[in-house]
């Protein structure tokens, strides 16, 4: 009887080891990724960093944060979708915000004003503004259970005049653009899953500050 119990325990232990091995088999540090995949992930997470998305852990931010993301992302990246009413007044349509939020979060929003943007008659209103240049770089990326990918992302801030390679290294920036040298501002733990609408895209599932902001920390 004791021999059977020991045999069963060994098999269970081996099974758990194999599960754990499979869960980390696709783990990659930044240096291990091919350039195309690394740049694609940098760009994906920069979309959240550049709008200063608040951290969240429950599959998606609250409604107001989703609206703020949709409006700000459109302003920064989809100039063709921004309606210019006056020199200091712009508008972004609800349909555009819904499209952006669905693309990056797989969600829809309930139309309403937020602390940043007023909503009226199908549009969110904003004033143009400039700020520092913000971008993100993937530090590591791993495929976990249930189709959820997770990793860590470094967020950098640079002067508005920064013209260097956002996928580069600090050594490269020092040589090419030392006056607007990017500085590490935060590290986020992130989770994402493949979009049900497009197998070539991710949707963000979690975005939270790491306990440590000390460069490319060990996972």
> Are 31 and 139 spatial neighbours (Cβ–Cβ below 8 Å)?
no
141-191 confidence digits (pLDDT tens): 998 778 899 999 999 998 877 888 999 998 888 887 667 789 999 999 999
The β-bridge relationship of strands 118-120 and 148-158 is unpaired
Burial 51-90 (b: 16+ CB within 10 A, else e): bebeebeeebbebbbbbbbbbbbbbeeeeeebeeeeeeeb
Per-residue pLDDT at 159:
81
Name the residue with higher pLDDT: 215 or 51.
51
Query: 0.75 cut: is pTM over it?
Result: yes
**Can you tell me the mean pLDDT for 68-94?**
94
**Can you tell me the mean pLDDT for 200-215?**
83
187's torsion region: left (phi>0), alpha (psi -120 to 50) or beta? beta
Side-by-side strand order, sheet with 118-120: 82-86, 89-93, 123-126, 118-120
Rounded to the nearest integer, the mean pLDDT of the chain is 85
């Amino acid at each position: 009887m004791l021999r059977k119990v020991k045999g069963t325990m060994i098999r269970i232990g081996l099974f758990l080891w194999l599960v754990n091995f499979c869960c980390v088999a696709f783990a990659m540090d930044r240096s291990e990724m091919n350039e195309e995949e690394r740049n694609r992930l940098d760009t994906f997470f920069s979309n959240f960093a550049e709008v200063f998305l608040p951290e969240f852990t429950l599959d998606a931010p609250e409604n107001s944060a989703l609206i703020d993301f949709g409006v700000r992302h459109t302003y920064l990246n989809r100039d063709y979708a921004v309606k210019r009413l006056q020199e200091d007044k712009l508008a972004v349509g609800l349909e555009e915000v819904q499209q952006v939020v669905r693309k990056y979060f797989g969600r829809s929003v309930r139309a309403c004003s937020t602390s940043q943007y007023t909503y009226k008659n199908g549009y969110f209103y904003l004033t143009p503004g400039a700020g520092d240049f913000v971008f993100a770089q993937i530090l590591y990326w791993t495929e976990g259970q249930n189709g959820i990918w997770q990793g860590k992302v470094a967020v950098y801030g640079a002067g508005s005049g920064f013209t260097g390679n956002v996928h580069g290294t600090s050594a490269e920036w020092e040589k090419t653009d030392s006056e607007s040298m990017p500085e590490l501002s935060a590290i986020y733990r992130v989770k994402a899953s493949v979009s049900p609408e497009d197998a070539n895209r991710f949707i963000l599932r979690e975005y939270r500050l790491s306990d440590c902001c000390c460069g490319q920390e060990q996972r």
